[in-house]
Amino acid sequence: MLPSITEIKVRGYHLDLFGHVNNARFLEFLEEGRWAFVEGTMDLTEWQKRGIGFSIVNININYKKPALMGNVLEVRTSLSKIGKTSGIIHQDIVLKGTGKLVVGADVTFVMVDTATNKPMPLTGDIREAFETLA
């Protein structure tokens, strides 16, 4: 499956004192990409009704190139691994039009039973929903 692509234009409020996108802002850009990826493919409202939550437990991020005011970034999001209790979403942020890598990240998630706040095994229709993304 092709990655989900979310475009973000770098604005002045994304920048730090050095004139490039602050490292913490990249985490927000990655989150925006994950939301678009999941909302476009899964019924999160139904999962909430069933007491199923989506929780990020680890992010490994590599900063490769600065992003500057006016750059248009593509957040490319895809599922790279699905395990018994967790999965990994891979995300790249690239400069639109050039494909130059700005940030690469692997984001580990678990599904959580909202009543107990404990991780759930990725089985049944939950697993099927993720397998359709791989």
pLDDT for the residue numbered 83: 94
What count of Cα atoms within 13 Å lies in the side-chain half-sphere of residue 72? 6
pLDDT for the residue numbered 1: 59
Residue 81 makes CB contacts below 8 A (sequence gap 6+) with 87, 88
Among 74, 78, 108, 111, which residue's Cα sits nearest to residue 1? 78
pLDDT for the residue numbered 28: 97
Among 94, 88, 86, 95, which residue's Cα sits nearest to residue 123? 86
Q: Which residue positions in the chain have pLDDT lower than 50?
A: none
Domain interval for residue 100: 4-131
- How do residues 69-89 score in pLDDT, each as one tens digit? 999 999 999 999 999 999 999
**133 — alpha (psi -120 to 50), left (phi > 0) or beta?**
alpha
pLDDT for the residue numbered 42: 81
Q: What is the CATH number of the domain that holds 29?
A: 3.10.129.10
User: What is the number of domains present in the chain?
Assistant: 1
In the numeric block, which tokens belong to residue 79?
């599922």
- Which residues are identified as catalytic? 16
Question: For residue 62, what are the β-bridge partners?
Answer: 104
